[in-house]
A = this chain, B = another copy of it.
Amino acid sequence: MKYSIGVDFGTESGRAVLVEVETGREVATAVFPYINGVIDEVLPESNVPLEPDWALQDPEDYIRVFQNAIPRVLAQAEVQASDVIGVGIDFTACTMLPVKSDGTPLCMLPEWRAAPHAWVKLWKHHAAQPEADKINETARLMNQAWLERYGGKISSEWFFSKVLQILNEAPEIYAAADRMIEAADWVVWQLTGIETRNSCTAGYKAIWSKSEGFPPKDYFAALHPQLANVIDEKMTRDIRPIGQPAGGLSSQAAAWTGLKPGTAVAIANVDAHVSVPAATVTEPGRMVMIMGTSICHMVLGTQEQLVPGICGYVEDGILPGYFGYEAGQSCVGDHFAWFVDNCVPGEYERQAAQRGIDIHTYLEEKAATLKPGESGLLALDWWNGNRSVLVDVDLTGLLLGATLATHPEEIYRALIEATAYGTRVIVEAFQQNGVPIHELVACGGLPEKNKLLMQIYADVTGCPIKVSASSQTPALGSAMFGAVAAGKQAGGYDTIVDAARKMARLKDEIFLPIAEHQRVYDQLYAEYLRLHDYFGRGENDVMKRLKSIKVSARSG
């Protein structure tokens, strides 16, 4: 029996899963919580304080995941290292760091240890908004065609926003950095001793495309004179398609993990994207939704299509041979968590506690007794802005229709419904722009926890929803890519499609749209769309004006 290991680097921890290559059975799992977690107040050791919106990580935590979690899954499963044929990793993105030419992170060098910009910038580091604004404005002024590939807007979370922030605020760090690299690629480098760059993060986060490469030098020069040669000086134009091997495990990494030197290591990947084949999707028409605090939507297309307001599309970005389209909703699980923390009366907490169930379950039960439309409520799901298709972080939440008879579970359900309408906007944006979708496949934490939510999504979108069988889809996907990196001759697979056929599975349960619910939700969705356009497309920019009044009030 042959095995592959997938390592999934999340926001708070890293997870290793040992998987049977032939069947996809998940034999053992180990989670290692990062010692320094998300660094958003002060730097470790130096206690240097961070500004608001900063979010850093410690690259040594990633190495500790290899050192701890991989030996633990081997031990748990009582598997011989020689039976492990491949390793794949996936990471949050864009999570990036400045390193020396030998791969040493600047933050690990004593002279830069107290410099915030020397550390890993986590995906949710949101302090580079001025840089993102500059990137977008400059791109529009210079008529950069690539802007359209990203729905017309580059995010403050993405690679060059973060690089430009380093250059603007800490030019000495920029100068000292021989390489600027995604953490995903950096950990693969640590495993193999070879620096590689993957097509997924390059495409989705660093404005690269297979046919056009990176933006031109004069564009980078317009952002900052010293940025002109950033690609050739600190990155590479050699972008490797996902699905390929990155190299063999180095002796050092073999010592960390207990695996054999030379074990195949896959090109790095992103947590959301690696989940697509792990959720059985290797063809167009079926959209994968990774549902957690937010939703990431992924769909494959055979043709290049401009879809307004989606996050981006990348050729070979998800699966080789396809255009991988990505969209996102920025506030889903987070929305319900906010509601539970801020809006649920003590009486409900007591009732739930008395019954020994958690408050989400209690609310779900109560909300499930309501019929569609019965609450009279309608919400816009913009508590954390809108990531697709309006791409506007300054939009805010709206709840309409409350009366003195409105109960918390009605608001809770209205918030779920609002996120479902948000998903339908995205599905329709794809459909109306030449990217067909006829089925949804869900994975992530939410589908396991909230069946009401899944049914509402089916009713609102009118699409059947299937659910990935694995509760750790990204790690399974990484293990699948590890098996592909090993290849068929070594007991793995030659392509990710072959791997998916054997290793990926769906649950039996399918959520089918209920026709009488659909009829009501069609009416409510029409109302949602009208408010969506009124508040989101400039007819009444009250949300932005309130935000600017808020900013003056706080500073005044």
Could you tell me which A residues sit within 8 Å of B by CB distance? 331, 334-335, 338, 341-346, 348-350, 371-378, 383-384, 396-404, 406-408, 516, 520, 523-524, 527, 530-531, 534-535, 540, 542-543, 545-547, 549-550, 552-554, 556
B372-A553 in contact (CB<8A): yes
Given A343-B343, A530-B540, CB of A373 within 8 Å of CB of B403: no
Q: Which residues of chain B have C-beta atoms less than 8 A from A399's C-beta?
A: 397-400, 402
A533 vs B344: C-alpha distance when bound (angstroms) = 31
Given A401-B396, A527-B545, A542-B378, CB of A406 within 8 Å of CB of B342: yes
Specify how many copies of this chain sit in the oligomer: 2
Nearest-Cβ distance from residue A359 to partner chain B, whole angstroms: 9
Nearest-Cβ distance from residue A414 to partner chain B, whole angstroms: 10
Question: Whose C-beta in chain B lies nearest to the C-beta of A359?
Answer: B346
Q: Which residues of chain B have C-beta atoms less than 8 A from A334's C-beta?
A: 404
Q: Which residues of chain B have C-beta atoms less than 8 A from A371's C-beta?
A: 553-554, 556
Given A344-B345, A556-B371, CB of A402 within 8 Å of CB of B376: no
Q: Enumerate the 9 nearest inter-chain pairs by beta-carbon distance, A residue then B residue, closest first.
A: A346-B346, A397-B402, A376-B550, A373-B553, A374-B553, A373-B549, A346-B349, A396-B401, A371-B553
Q: Which residues of chain B have C-beta atoms less than 8 A from A378's C-beta?
A: 542, 546
A328 vs B540: C-alpha distance when bound (angstroms) = 29
B550-A404 in contact (CB<8A): no
Nearest-Cβ distance from residue A382 to partner chain B, whole angstroms: 9
Within the complex, which residue of B407, B535, B550 is in contact with A373, where a contact is CB–CB below 8 Å?
B550
A404-B338 in contact (CB<8A): yes
Q: Which residues of chain B have C-beta atoms less than 8 A from A543's C-beta?
A: 400-401
A523 vs B556: C-alpha distance when bound (angstroms) = 15
Knowing that A342-B408, A396-B400, A397-B400 touch, tell me 16 more A-B residue pairs with CB under 8 angstroms.
Answer: A334-B404, A338-B406, A343-B408, A345-B346, A371-B556, A373-B546, A373-B552, A376-B547, A376-B549, A383-B406, A400-B535, A401-B543, A401-B546, A523-B549, A524-B549, A534-B540
Q: Which residues of chain B have C-beta atoms less than 8 A from A348's C-beta?
A: 346
Question: Whose C-beta in chain B lies nearest to the C-beta of A337?
Answer: B404
Q: Which residues of chain B have C-beta atoms less than 8 A from A404's C-beta?
A: 331, 334-335, 338, 383-384
5 examples of A-B residue contacts, CB within 8 angstroms:
A371-B554, A383-B403, A398-B400, A399-B400, A400-B546
Q: Which residues of chain B have C-beta atoms less than 8 A from A343's C-beta?
A: 343, 345, 408
Q: Which residues of chain B have C-beta atoms less than 8 A from A546's C-beta?
A: 373, 376-378, 400-401, 524, 527
Within the complex, which residue of B373, B396, B407 is in contact with A402, where a contact is CB–CB below 8 Å?
B396
Q: Which residues of chain B have C-beta atoms less than 8 A from A398's C-beta?
A: 398-402
Q: Which residues of chain B have C-beta atoms less than 8 A from A523's C-beta?
A: 545, 549
A401 vs B545: C-alpha distance when bound (angstroms) = 10
